[in-house]
Amino acid sequence: MSKIIATCAIRGAREIYRQAEEFLEKSIKEKGETCEVKFPDTAFYFPMAYALLGEEVKRLSDAKKVLLTAKALLHEDPSEKIWLPYLGDTLDSGVSALLCEEIIMALRYLYGQEPQKDCNGFFSDTILRTLGIQLVDGRIPGFAAILGAAPDNKTAVHIVRELQKRSIMTFVGSNVNGRSIIDQLLEEKVEMGWDTYIIPYGRDTLSAVYPLNWAIRGALTFGGHKKGEALKCLKYCQNRVFAFGMVLGKLDDIKYATGAGAINMGFPIIADTDIPEIKPSGICTYEHVVKELDHKKIVLRSIEVRGLKIKITEIPIPVAYSPAFEGERVRREQMFAQFGGKYSDAFEYVKMVPPDKIEDGRIEVIGPELDKIEDGGAMPLGIVVEVAGRKMQKDFEPILERQIHSFLNEAMGIFHMGQRDMCWVRVSKDARLKGFLLRHFGVILHAKFHDVFSAIVDKVQVTIYTNQVDVEMLVKEAQVSYKERDARVEKMTDESVDLFWTCTLCQSFAPNHLCIIKPERLGLCGAYNWLDAKASYELNPSGPNQPIKKGECLDPVKGEWKGVNEVVLQKSNRTLERFCGYSIIDAPETSCGCFECIIAILPETNGFMVVNREYSGMTPAGMTFSTLAGTIGGGQQTPGFMGVGRLYIVSRKFISSEGGLKRVVWMSKELKEALTDKLKKRCEEIGDPDLINKIADETIATTTEGLLPYLEKVGHPALTMESVM
Amino acid sequence: MAKPTGNPINDELLKIAAQNNISTIWDRFMEQEPHCGFGTLGVCCKICNLGPCRIDPFGEGAQKGACGADSDTISSRNLARNAAAGAACHSDHGRTMAKTLLDVGKGIIKDYSIKDPAKLKRLASEFCIKIEDKSDLKIAEELGEAILKEYGQQEGELTLTKRAPKKQQENWKKTNVNPRGIDIEVVQAFSRTHIGCDNEYKHVLEAAIRASLVDGWGGSMIATELSDILFGSPEPIRAEVNLGVLKEDEVNILLHGHEPLLSDIIVTASQDKELVELAKKYGAKGINLSGICCTAAEVLMRHGVPMAGNFLQQELAIITGAVEAMIVDIQCIMPSLSEVAKSFHTKLISTSPKAKFVGMEHIEFHEKDALAIAKKILRIAIENYKNRDRSKVNIPKEKMTLVAGFTMENVFYNLGGSFRPSYRPLNDAIISGRIRGVAGVVGCDNPKNESGLCHADMVKELIKNDVLVVQTGCSGSACAKAGLLTPEAAFRFAGDGLKEICETVGIPPVLHTGSCVDNTRILTACCEMVKEGGIGNSIDELPVAGAAPEWMSEKAIAIGWYFVASGIFVVLGTPLRVLGSKNVTNYICNEIEQLYGGKWAFESDPIKAAHLMIGHIDKKREALKLKPLIYAKV
């Protein structure tokens, strides 16, 4: 239990204090209070004392002041019974330990006792700045400080290699009964140094303050925090320096005290021995102290506990992988095997599961692999991706699932189309020849999900099914989920939510434009619906999709909200004051330039036309799509003209202020065909099932003069509606 | 003799009382039974001399009083007057503290000092007092003045209401209950409820809510804050509780009542060497102070002075025959004490200019001469040791250890140390589903609750279900006696999630936060939980609830009201006296939730009441989309 840890740490801090006091007294006696004391190559004096206390320790007399503060942070052990709260005392003891360890290390430098043989000693400011960039850009995802020794050399090497593989900077040192991991690695001839990401700091626990007083300098150097801003510096470490302590072998009071110091910095402790655990979060982001007795799992467990986000840069598959291959087709004659389409049953399904139900990186193929089948055939396929993450939500499932399409397509020799249970995949002969197997789908998805969705995904496990019976059975489960998801999105209305989302992605080229993404009006590019924007915000909280509290509804018919207007004013650089989400006449939403379709007024018809960007011909407005686009882009409000996403046309909120779909008198044929099913449904909903046939296309007219007689002939409702102007 | 109280110690002493023909609260309570039905339902009106009038709750007899007031008007007016009286008590308590602070600042009072200068400065800043280059005493003077000004303020708002989350403040403004000043709202609650004045029950209850808000975010909060400044902010501390804390061989002095001004200085005086010597001269080994009621909580929190008992045990303490003196000030002191004391040597000394008792010696306490008066009183007590009749001494053996001393402020250190002080671990514990939520179980004890163990039963049920419990007043001592305020209680009684948090921090699953004015510590802690984030943007969104299972005083009504109006669901063990009006009952138990987020509920079974609170907390967790409880058994 925690009390045992507290007792050890509090006791350990007192012991470290005793050592520091004794050493400092001796030093003052031998060298005098004014004797200078410092670490090599740092502008931060004693960095821990500088950051946490604001002290600039230059002389032994200054160190005495720090020692006094350290003493004030010491406490009595918690009593055996009816103890008083000990967490605060333990954390303070930890800080005391770090301050005292720093004093001891500096005094050792004074006496020429540091760095120890084969060790780096104090980490200089230069190293910090050199590595700074790699920290920021994620090339170094985190830091491990290992204390103690592994049970054998082989295990020591294994652990260090596992960390190296993930580019985790690893500091090694301390000892168990005199045996240090440093010597284990030396004996195994493991190359150590900054280039190999393995740094020996020292063979005793006290020297573990080196990585810690190095980390705290990050807050001062990169975080811009000032000396003495203890809380800010410590929180900087918690939020930005992804370090953790790994204690191999038995713990003693000194290790516990040092660990308590590290916990103040938000660095959790993972031990390979059967120690008590502290799981509740608060000072660290997740658990504080955990054990993992299996050395094969200890690195993964550490990554999970510290919440490291590992990017897998190279995907280990036998074919090239790049966005460049996304558009590549695999023709029948080049094809080795295919799945789905009209040739076999296939589906893909992403589902969220609890973290303890899956093992990250586990990939399994159940049924025949590619090397077991005949060339040129079709076979069933089920790709089931199970995902877990502290921030994962069920709502994200479809967003992740939709990415399977481009993730698989980016592998050379793989062709993917469609989605859900309507997907179609081909693997080329070339890819197969290079050794491509179905399990590599899993490898790709595991790597890409981690890469792209690191903010929400902690664990990914992929299972690929190729037996017909499995696929048939599992697709049913997936279909239930597909239906639920559809229902979830369809059920959502603008009224059912409190939040809308901004999208300012296009401000790089249209600086005053923003989209207001609502459940019933997606972004005009067609790529972002309400759930996408929400997910995007979760992934990148400071990104282009920000929540908007709708606030008071000023006009339910036109779709005007106070909260939206406030955001519009702010995000449009004060060029726009109001947005009416459902109107094309009064304060319509603006357009950047990437709209899928344009709605344009045709005053003679008392209605509107809609043209999609792929249609290059003339329209009844007298302009082609590209001419129209030129007049409405750039974040301007142009009543009567508006760029929209395709799906908005079939939304219940489609220019509903002006009468909605009944106003549409002309649509380009391609667009009408693409939306046929949905249009039919909408027409039925509004009680005019024949409306779809009353909407003209380019085969009927491309001028208003040609259009009008047709509208009159079919009795288009727009003609008799209230004047649109 | 009285029926069993459910508490063996009480029952033993009641036997002695019966043998000596001493009447206690339990006897007198029984004599009052059955209680008047009209009074209980709140439909008896004694406001003017047209009456007393009463409404027939069965709908057969009179449905209107002589003036025409119906059950809605009558019960709401009664309730408003109760709340105003409760608020008046706490606000007067705060006023005394503010006046003392002012006089300490002016140098008129010398026996007290500024014990928590950091808190003085924080509070002064809230009152917009510039603190730079000013001495503590100067700040104290200005702060005292500023606070007293709010007592007489006629318009504007109270400074401390601004501590509340925005939404609570908006709710109060929207519903026209935001207090303008402290005294005005109490006075107006009375003027509005005069015959023929305010009659529309919802409007009448506005007055009740305003007066109660004046209590929670005014008088009581001022009392708590200034007590910390003048007597020191509490830190977690060990102590003992129950009548077993009285000692066979020491001068036993009981401190009973509410204001800490006298009790705190008596703690200081009791360490006076001369007095200790005097006690020894009379054959005692020393001076043993212990507390009753909320005074006990005040000196417990700051000095670890043992708690002899709660409200119901005040007579029993004397019946032990071992008490040299009981020193009382105000509130919850039974007039019967002098009758009981006649059979023993115990001296009863009243001290407050606000409260005298027939048969008690009155030594009026003035802050100016605090130490001298304290010593004088102690001397009387010590000299009385020689009169103790050993044949009449019956000190029960039972006592229990507890840890108390939790405040809104020291949560920061206890959860994060000096360098990472924070509510984050608490909020995280709630978010992660280790702690379901937080419940305040507070209030008096009352012979109406037959088992006498309502508090402990309710609290056990709550902590079993991973609800962290915070306590004040007599409810706190009831649970302390049951051993729930020990850190070990987490292992015996708490659910796995709560246990894990208690283990991590080293706390009991039930936290004692002080006296009845210190209920405001719960309010401010709620504000900190909101500020830390992740469990709601206002108090009414937090997964929290409150209860007063054995309430009896008018103060409890004011406290309940300010919690309800601050967004908290409050369960009482016995109903407010409004059940005679369907409208008023429905309004305060249902409709009002839409206005404030909080509401009342009445449930006499402590286990069922606990589950009403758990249900409410679960509802809030669901609204916040928090994870299911981590260790919940499905």
User: Cβ contact (<8 Å) for A86 and B505?
Assistant: yes
Average pLDDT, integer, range A620-634: 84
B484 CB neighbours in chain A (<8 A) are: none
Amino acid letter, residue A695: I
Average pLDDT, integer, range B59-75: 96
Tally of domains in chain B: 3
Question: Which of B236, B415, B428 is nearest residue A84 as measured by Cβ atoms?
Answer: B236
Residues B377 and B486 in one domain: no
Residues B384 and B409 in one domain: no
Residues A138 and A45 in one domain: no
A90 CB neighbours in chain B (<8 A) are: 417
Tell me the three state secondary structure of residue B418: coil
Residues A456 and A364 in one domain: yes
Pick B634 or A210 by higher pLDDT: A210
Average pLDDT, integer, range B568-582: 97
Q: What is the pLDDT of residue A141?
A: 84
- Is the residue at B310 inside a domain? yes
Question: Which of B422, B501, B507 is nearest residue A280 as measured by Cβ atoms?
Answer: B501
- Best residue in B403, B407, B419 for a mutation probing chain A (most A CBs within 10 Å): B419
- Is the residue at A527 inside a domain? no
Name the pLDDT band for A333 (thresholds 50, 70, 90).
confident
Instruction: Inform me whether the pLDDT recorded for B16 exceeds 70.
Output: yes
Alpha-carbon torsion, ordered B227, B233, B236, B242, to 10 deg: -20
Residues A295 and A232 in one domain: yes
* Alpha-carbon gap, residue A284 to B7, rounded angstroms: 45
Q: Which ranges in B285-407 belong to alpha helices (H)? A: 293-303, 314-319, 337-341, 370-383
Name the pLDDT band for B2 (thresholds 50, 70, 90).
low
A282 CB neighbours in chain B (<8 A) are: 415-416, 422, 424-429
**Run of H or E residues at A549:** strand A547-549
Which of B207, B231, B255 corresponds to the end of one domain? B231
Question: What integer best gives the mean pLDDT of chain B?
Answer: 96
Q: How many CA atoms lie within 13 A of B496 on its CB side?
A: 7
The counts of H helices and E strands in chain A are 22, 23
Q: Which two tokens stand for residue A213?
A: 């007083």
Closest-CA residue to A14 (of A105, A77, A78): A77
Phi/psi of residue B372, nearest 5 degrees = -65, -45
B409 CB neighbours in chain A (<8 A) are: none
Residues B357 and B455 in one domain: no
Q: What is the pLDDT of residue B264?
A: 96
Residues A135 and A30 in one domain: no
Gap from B419 CA to chain A (nearest CA, Å): 6
- Is the residue at A544 inside a domain? no
Which of A81, A110, A139 corresponds to the end of one domain? A110
Name the pLDDT band for B36 (thresholds 50, 70, 90).
very high
- Is the residue at A51 inside a domain? yes
Q: What is the pLDDT of residue B3?
A: 64
Question: Which of A2, A83, A264 is nearest residue B417 as measured by Cβ atoms?
Answer: A264
Pick B609 or A677 by higher pLDDT: B609
Name the pLDDT band for B155 (thresholds 50, 70, 90).
very high
- Is the residue at B413 inside a domain? yes
pLDDT in tens, B470-497: 999 999 999 999 999 999 999 999 999 9
Residues A260 and A379 in one domain: no
Pick B613 or A355 by higher pLDDT: B613
Q: Which ranges in B215-287 belong to alpha helices (H)? A: 220-231, 260-269, 273-281
Please list, in sequence order, all residues whose beta carbon lies within 8 angstroms of the beta carbon of residue B311, skipping any fewer than 6 positions away.
Answer: B292, B293, B332, B444, B445, B474, B552
Q: What is the pLDDT of residue B406?
A: 98
Name the pLDDT band for A395 (thresholds 50, 70, 90).
confident
Instruction: Inform me whether the pLDDT recorded for B434 exceeds 60.
Output: yes
Residues A276 and A407 in one domain: no
Alpha-carbon torsion, ordered B407, B408, B409, B411, to 10 deg: 80
Structure ipTM: 0.94
Domain that holds residue A47: 2-110
Q: DSSP of A321-342, one letter per residue?
A: B-GGGTT----GGGEEEEEETT
Q: Which two tokens stand for residue A211?
A: 């990585």
Percent share of chain A, pLDDT over 90:
68
Please list, in sequence order, all residues whose beta carbon lies within 8 angstroms of the beta carbon of residue B598, skipping any fewer than 6 positions away.
Answer: B540, B563, B564, B565, B566, B567, B568, B569, B570, B592
Average pLDDT, integer, range A48-59: 97
Residues A139 and A288 in one domain: yes
- Is the residue at B328 inside a domain? yes
Q: Please identify which residue in the block is written with the tokens 């105003």.
A: B84
- Is the residue at A515 inside a domain? no
User: Cβ contact (<8 Å) for B488 and A82?
Assistant: yes
Residues B174 and B79 in one domain: yes
Q: What is the pLDDT of residue A419?
A: 76
Instruction: Inform me whether the pLDDT recorded for A326 exceeds 80.
Output: no
Domain that holds residue B509: 402-623
Residues B157 and B120 in one domain: yes
Average pLDDT, integer, range B102-117: 97
Tally of domains in chain A: 4
Q: What is the pLDDT of residue B100?
A: 98
Residues A340 and A453 in one domain: yes
Q: What is the pLDDT of residue B599?
A: 98
Average pLDDT, integer, range B43-52: 96
Which of A468, A491, A520 corresponds to the end of one domain? A468
Residues B385 and B455 in one domain: no
Question: What integer best gives the mean pLDDT of chain A?
Answer: 91
CATH number at residue B127: 1.20.1270.30
Paired residues of B400 in beta bridges: B241
CATH number at residue A422: 3.30.1650.10
- Is the residue at A255 inside a domain? yes
Tell me the three state secondary structure of residue A204: coil
Using left for φ > 0, alpha for ψ between -120 and 50, and beta otherwise, residue A542 falls in alpha
Q: Which two tokens stand for residue A136?
A: 């920021």
Neighbours of B309 (CB within 10 A): 30
- Report the range of poorest mean pLDDT among A57-71, A414-428, A453-467, A551-565: A414-428
Average pLDDT, integer, range B78-91: 98
Q: What is the pLDDT of residue A175?
A: 97
CATH number at residue B387: 3.40.50.2030
Percent share of chain A, pLDDT over 70:
97
Q: What is the pLDDT of residue A137?
A: 57
- Best residue in A231, A238, A281 for a mutation probing chain B (most B CBs within 10 Å): A281
Phi/psi of residue A643, nearest 5 degrees = -95, 135
**What are the C-alpha distances in Å from B397 to residues A37, B6, B241, B322?**
62, 17, 11, 13
Q: Which two tokens stand for residue B370?
A: 């605090």
A230 CB neighbours in chain B (<8 A) are: 419
pLDDT in tens, B311-339: 999 999 999 999 999 999 999 999 999 99
- Is the residue at B519 inside a domain? yes
Q: What is the pLDDT of residue A132?
A: 63
Gap from A555 CA to chain B (nearest CA, Å): 23
- Is the residue at B367 inside a domain? yes
Instruction: Inform me whether the pLDDT recorded for A138 exceeds 70.
Output: no
- Is the residue at B62 inside a domain? no
B418 CB neighbours in chain A (<8 A) are: 73, 88, 91-92, 95
Residues A150 and A238 in one domain: yes
Residues B581 and B497 in one domain: yes
Q: What is the pLDDT of residue A136?
A: 56
Which residue in chain A has the smallest CA separation from B503? Answer: A2
CATH number at residue A10: 1.10.8.190
Greatest alpha-carbon span in chain A: 110
CATH number at residue A654: 3.40.1470.10
Q: Which ranges in B533-581 belong to alpha helices (H)? A: 554-565
Residues from B in contact with A at Cβ < 8 Å: 236-238, 401-403, 413-422, 424-429, 432, 434, 486-488, 500-501, 503-507
- Is the residue at B91 inside a domain? yes
- Is the residue at B522 inside a domain? yes
Q: What is the pLDDT of residue B451?
A: 64
User: Cβ contact (<8 Å) for B501 and A86?
Assistant: no
Which of A110, A138, A163 corresponds to the end of one domain? A110
- Report the range of poorest mean pLDDT among A626-635, B45-54, B469-478: A626-635
Residues A207 and A338 in one domain: no
Residues A198 and A90 in one domain: no
B504 CB neighbours in chain A (<8 A) are: 2, 87, 278-280, 288
Burial bucket for residue B18 (CB in 10 Å: 0-12, 13-18, 19+): middle
Gap from A93 CA to chain B (nearest CA, Å): 9
- Is the residue at A316 inside a domain? no
Is the separation of the CB atoms in A586 and A639 below 8 Å? yes
Q: What is the pLDDT of residue A156?
A: 97
Instruction: Inform me whether the pLDDT recorded for B390 exceeds 60.
Output: yes
Residues A137 and A279 in one domain: yes
Average pLDDT, integer, range A62-78: 97
Residues B324 and B216 in one domain: no
Average pLDDT, integer, range A208-231: 91
Question: Which of B236, B413, B420 is nearest residue A283 as measured by Cβ atoms?
Answer: B420
* Alpha-carbon gap, residue B425 to A281, rounded angstroms: 6
Average pLDDT, integer, range B17-23: 94
Q: What is the pLDDT of residue B394?
A: 96
- Is the residue at A257 inside a domain? yes
- Is the residue at A569 inside a domain? no
Paired residues of A278 in beta bridges: A289
Residues B148 and B86 in one domain: yes
Gap from A269 CA to chain B (nearest CA, Å): 15
Residues B423 and B556 in one domain: yes
Residues B613 and B474 in one domain: yes
Average pLDDT, integer, range A612-635: 85
* Alpha-carbon gap, residue B340 to B324, rounded angstroms: 14
Instruction: Inform me whether the pLDDT recorded for A407 exceeds 70.
Output: yes
- Best residue in B418, B496, B507 for a mutation probing chain A (most A CBs within 10 Å): B418
Which residue in chain A has the smallest CA separation from B405? Answer: A84
Closest-CA residue to B505 (of B598, B591, B435): B435
Residues B247 and B372 in one domain: yes
Gap from B240 CA to chain A (nearest CA, Å): 11
Q: Which two tokens stand for residue B565?
A: 């109006």
pLDDT in tens, A463-520: 999 999 999 999 999 989 888 877 776 778 999 889 999 988 777 667 788 999 999 9
User: Cβ contact (<8 Å) for B425 and A280?
Assistant: yes
